[in-house]
Structure 1
Amino acid sequence: MMSEFTHINPKGEAHMVDVTEKSVTEREARAEALVRMAPETLAMIVEGRHHKGDVFATARVAGIMAAKQTSSLIPLCHPLMLTKVELDILPEPESDLVRIRSLCKLAGQTGVEMEALTAASVAALTIYDMCKAVQKDMVIDGVRLLEKRGGKSGHFKIDEE
């Protein structure tokens, strides 16, 4: 069930939602992105043989920095005072992919879904950027919100079968 678009005013114009009257609540969001690559590329990263250094450490820092810059990247997004940003970067050699999971938290008046999605996406883009000289046909996909807590809309969690 979809509710009305909150970023469109009665005249049909884009606007930033006024959250002044909303209560400050604890909010949390988790997201993920996948980077699919050749087994040789993944092995090179995991074994630390990449000439550019620690790919996962760089991607983790990039994701954290991106979460903090989300309002500069996504129009109409509120600047947020994040209290936690965490990225888990999990190689899955059996599937020839890297799974990136992000967590963003704060106490505030609006949710952190976009920050979690941005963190996972930019970490994936960083892995691609660092490895494109080795493999240009990597695929970034599966970017999605896994869970969100807090706020008026309550708790959402995907069914991860």
Structure 2
Amino acid sequence: MGTNQLNHFDEQGNAVMVDVTDKAETERCAVARGSIYVTREIFDAIAGGTVRKGDVLGTARLAGILAAKQTPHLIPLCHPLLLSKASVDFELHEDTLCVDAVCTVKLRGQTGVEMEALTGVSVALLTIYDMCKALSKTMEIGGIHLERKSGGKSGNYTREEENV
């Protein structure tokens, strides 16, 4: 099968889980990023730790880590993986009233962790929305993307902003 062909389908076009039995174990890492744009009231409440439901970023961090670990239960053809690291960090941008979430996932294994990083960042952002929606529903989640990955047969990847 060529490198530009989809490999989640068999010869009959049926969806299948990719067989990684013969792939070598390598160190793999993926970093995904996404953003949630909020109102001034929500931004100040998150930054000040005054959201009534509790610690928004702490809860979102745990939700993102848990989501990365549970990815094969959400995405049908993902392999169950023994992750060696899953972390979620946040960057608050007061000038744009935006919170960026960054999820980093690592392992030594036979398949990549891009989906785990993307799932982690998505659920972290959804958790921020859930915890803040009582203040205002005027929030927008977007820009979820893979920033970089390393390891595996396809090698390293870094997103180039000018090509997006």
TM-score, normalised to structure 1, is 0.97
Question: What do residues 101-128 of structure 1 show as CA deviations (whole Å, max 9, x unaligned)?
Answer: 0100000000000000000000000000
The 3-state SS of whatever aligns with 2:95 is helix
The 3-state SS of whatever aligns with 1:154 is coil
Tell me how far apart the structure 2 counterparts of residues 97 and 38 of structure 1 sit (CA, whole Å).
9
Question: What do residues 93-151 of structure 1 show as CA deviations (whole Å, max 9, x unaligned)?
Answer: 11110000010000000000000000000000000000011111200000000000000
Paired residues in the alignment total: 160
RMSD, matched Cα: 1.0
Question: What do residues 62-91 of structure 1 show as CA deviations (whole Å, max 9, x unaligned)?
Answer: 000000000000011000000001111111
What 5-or-longer segments of structure 1 have no aligned partner? none
Match of 1:127 in 2: 128
TM-score, normalised to structure 2, is 0.95
Contact (CA 8 Å) 2:86, 2:106: kept in 1 or not? Answer: yes
Question: How far apart are residue 7 of structure 1 and its match?
Answer: 0.2
Tell me how far apart the structure 1 counterparts of residues 138 and 44 of structure 2 sit (CA, whole Å).
16
Q: Which amino acid letter does the alignment assign opposite residue 126 of structure 1? A: T
Q: Which amino acid letter does the alignment assign opposite residue 6 of structure 1? A: N
- Tell whether 2:150 aligns with 1:141: no
The 3-state SS of whatever aligns with 1:11 is coil
Question: How far apart are residue 159 of structure 1 and its match?
Answer: 2.0
Tell me how far apart the structure 2 counterparts of residues 95 and 143 of structure 1 sit (CA, whole Å).
17
Question: What do residues 11-64 of structure 1 show as CA deviations (whole Å, max 9, x unaligned)?
Answer: 000000000000000000000110001112101111011111110000000000
Contact (CA 8 Å) 2:41, 2:135: kept in 1 or not? Answer: no
